[in-house]
Chain A
Amino acid sequence: GDSVTQMEGPVTLSEEAFLTINCTYTATGYPSLFWYVQYPGEGLQLLLKATKADDKGSNKGFEATYRKETTSFHLEKGSVQVSDSAVYFCALSGPNDYKLSFGAGTTVTVRA
């Protein structure tokens, strides 16, 4: 079945550092790929998504590119802020699926 493997955390960074969180997937067909973010005490919210190969999703300075050849969707941000401290989830779904398959989540802490 479909699955997502993401880099284990926790990750601790200083402000203005470069962040990358690796995500690889296994799926049949052409899934849509997502990054969701969960801030402390809140539910998940969509950070960015890509629906086909070579698409780049971007939002709030974060980027991820759908790489079908390496089955990857790595999340990057060039200069993190304290407010980026959160848990980040990589996820996928098939074209007509009602299920999101999530990775285990990566906890990121940014220190001032």
Chain B
Amino acid sequence: EVQLVQSGAEVKKPGESLIISCKGSGYSFTNYWIGWVRQMPGKGLEYMGIIYAHDSNTRYSPSFQGQVTISVDKSSSTAFLQWRSVKASDTAMYYCARHGGTTAESWFDPWGQGTLVTVSS
């Protein structure tokens, strides 16, 4: 079974650093891109960026460029989303998802279960 399992919920104070993870299994991890998606409380899905697990080629949404860092560790089939200094506005659910298809037709499947990040003083 193709599966993405994300790390557990995090509670952080403003200014702290944070890294969350997404471990893939059941498929050839390095053959796919992994994307990250933010969902703020009561809001819609926001695409953050995507990384090709084979060579770490990374593309950030302009809205998130410079705000987060996406990385991957091929040896453990794990993708990461990292903040140097979190803010209260980073409070959200974060999903990872495998990205497949072609340039003309692409999709996210499957999705991780989500990691809830709460930033509060």
Q: Do the two shown chains form a genuine complex with each other?
A: no
- Using a CB–CB cutoff of 8 Å, the interface residues on chain B facing chain A are none
- Using a CB–CB cutoff of 8 Å, the interface residues on chain A facing chain B are none
